[in-house]
Amino acid sequence: MAKSNYNFKDINGKQRVIIENVKPVINCGQYPAKRVVGEKVTVTADVFTDGHDAVKAVLLWRLAGKKKWAEVSMNFIGNDKWQAFFIPDQQGKYEYTLIGWVDHFASWQHGLKRKFEANQDISVELQIGKELLSQAASAGSQNKPKLETMAATLEKANPEEAVKMATSQEISQLMFNGVTKQNFVQYSKILTLEVERKKALFSSWYELFPRSTSEKPNGHGTFKDCEKLLPMIAEMGFDVLYFPPIHPIGKVNRKGKNNSTTAQEDDPGVPWAIGSSEGGHKSIHQELGTVKDFEKLVKKAKTLGIEIALDYALQCAPDHPYVKEHPQWFKWRPDGSVQYAENPPKKYQDVLPFNFETEDWENLWIELKSIVEYWVERGVNIFRVDNPHTKPFTFWEWMIKEVRKKYPETIFLAEAFTKPRVMERLAKLGFQQSYTYFTWRTSKHEITEYVTELTQTDLREYFRPNFWPNTPDILNDHLQKGGEPAFIRSLVMAATLSSNYGIYGPVFDFGINTPVAEGKEEYLNSEKYEIGHWEWSKQTRIREIITLINKIRRENEALQTTWNVQFCDTDNQNLLCYVKSTDSFDNKIIVVVNLAYTQTLAGYVKLPLWKLNMPYDTPYQVHDLLTDEKYTWNNEWNFVELNPFKLPVHVFRIEEESV
């Protein structure tokens, strides 16, 4: 035989399988997909070959650093698409990839069965099968005796018995576990997965200003005052208590009440204008207490199941110590003045942004990372990051990775109300949770379109939404005009559509909805600029619903993930209906929302019974967990009525599928 002149060093002509369209893959494998401990990782791919031969595929996965791969057989789901899943049981980095191969034994089985059913002679096919079994046995399979016995039986059995044995599940599994993976093809990449603690996926946030917690009408709140409120917050069902910045506040260019550029002597300033002669990002505002007071508060909160989250705001007041100690970290204008923050037409004269393009950027990065580490060492594992979209992506990717190497429990929430691609990039490079556009999505079309985008596209693999009906910066038009029904409606949607949600209280608890001016989303007399005083013991209907909805979330596993929402048809455009179910269908929740502000709505909603694994033509019972009322429903379409002044929402649990 003539010797080939071609160099086939990088080609294996016996490898015939193609593997493509693997999911999840983030940026061609540049970034990891995300899950929490115990959350299913479903991997799909197109796996196919030329001709009519059968193919097989296996999902391989392992904890990064381990040598041995775990194997999961992939299932064929149609049109050359294969699927398998695994469930990570601990935090850390995981790796996964796929292999595929031509399965000659399965191809033989298929041909044998077709020929037998067509009453054709299969004697030669049975000889081929015997050879395949004998080859597998002689190749060192641990099932060698069984394979040899089957090979001998195949030769002696009558055609009907031979076909039955040759196509049995037992023989297929033996051959699959044996030496059938000859000339396999491995997917071109080893992909990565970041597995985090469960709170990254399921959490309830409550935001308050510590300086507004004093029981005295004109007093400045302290950490000790905050500590007194912990039982109330735990009783309401929140597991994250988020504080805006707790650091010294700058005196230079301090803002006054309602964002006035002229501060009065007793104006406390904006907490995000961080730093003064009293200290910077690693210091505590003197009137709040000491570091020991703060550490005591953190420990007390943890005994009640609450974690304290701090604001990580990378900016400085003009009198922050950094400005004198490291002037190279800031921008200086031609007239010798320092550049303050601007987002035209907005001006933030009391805030200086860092210059991330400084020649001294390495030392700047190291110092900014050390701020997070300082507070982690004092018991804080959750950070709400202020405006991360105004800082370099490269910094966040480095900083989050470095912090989580040492402190893997750390969670970062990106407060980035900005362009979609920017928000997505921040999530890809490491942020565990992200603010969203939820608060501005109010119509049925807007809500369904946006939530479907978050949960049914590749976004779900890396972008974990955290729904907030309001923030200190956002008092939306529908809350201003809709009153209590709008607050309750927004709360329930946030808490049931997303497994991570939060509210800015106590203004939410008490239904505060007066804007600073017509057409503005800012609160009048905002706590950003002055100290608030609240009747913390006062009970409101909104607070009762908050407490109840958090209890419902804890008791119903279907509400502890974002990804399982399914929207339902209704006969009224102001009625929104969606369902959530566990994978096992043992917990099924139906939410129906009246999107109108002032009118009672009645109509019909359609449940996708087949998607909920429920039979048709069988009555079932739904239990409204907010009112404790129970109803018997039949088939798909059922009647609902919602008076917004009683309750603008139903939260049903399907409790009996046969009554």
Q: What is the pLDDT of residue 138?
A: 80
Helix axes 169-177, 144-156, angle to 10 degrees: 140
| Confidence band, pLDDT 50/70/90 cuts, at residue 5 | low
Is 381:352 a contact under the CB 8 Å cutoff? no
Q: Which of the two residues, 348 and 594, has the higher pLDDT score? A: 594
Cα–Cα distance, 458 to 455 (Å, whole number): 8
Bridge partner residues of 76 (DSSP): 82
What mean pLDDT is predicted for residues 102-110?
88
Least confident of 26-40, 110-124, 466-480, 615-629: 110-124
The pLDDT value given to residue 8: 56
What does the radius of gyration of the chain's CA atoms come to, in whole angstroms? 31
pLDDT above 90: residue 546: yes
Catalytic residue among 125, 239, 307, 415: 415
- Whether 527 is a known active-site residue: answer no
**Looking at the predicted structure, is the pLDDT value of residue 1 above 50?**
no
pLDDT at residue 548 in the model = 98
- What does the alpha-carbon distance between residue 213 and residue 79 come to, in Å, rounded to a whole number? 61
d(C-alpha 639, C-alpha 570), whole Å? 10
pLDDT for res 172? 86
CA pair distance 66, 85, nearest whole angstrom: 19
Q: Quote the CA–CA distance of 249 and 275 in Å, as a whole number.
A: 5
Over 60: is that where the pLDDT of 381 sits? yes
> Average pLDDT, stretch 480-506?
97
Band the pLDDT of 657: cuts 50, 70, 90. Answer: low
Catalytic residue among 386, 424, 509, 530: 386
The string of pLDDT tens digits covering residues 161-204 is 889 988 998 888 888 876 556 678 999 999 999 999 999 999 99
Report the C-alpha gap between 339 and 353 in whole angstroms.
Answer: 8
433: confidence class by pLDDT, cuts 50, 70, 90: very high
CA distances, 521 to each of 439, 542, 598 (Å): 11, 21, 21
- pLDDT per position as a tens digit, 141-160: 677 888 888 888 887 889 89
Answer yes or no: 386 catalytic.
yes
Task: Using the predicted structure, report yes or no on whether residue 9 has a pLDDT greater than 70.
Answer: no
Could you please report the per-residue DSSP string of 188-227? S--EEEEEE-GGGTSEEEEE--GGG--SSTTPPP-HHHHH
Lowest mean pLDDT among 51-60, 240-249, 497-506: 51-60
Task: Give the tens place of pLDDT for each residue, 561-592.
Answer: 999 999 999 999 999 999 999 999 999 999 99
659 has pLDDT over 60:
no
- In this predicted structure, which of 130-139, 301-310, 322-331 has the lowest mean pLDDT? 130-139
In the chain, the domains with their CATH numbers are 18-195 (2.60.40.10), 210-246+284-313+361-433+454-555 (3.20.20.80), 249-280+315-353 (no CATH), 566-656 (2.60.40.1180)
Nearest to residue 380, comparing CAs of 520, 459, 282?
282
CA angle at 235 for the pair 590 and 203, rounded to the nearest 5°: 55
- 444-448 mean pLDDT: 98
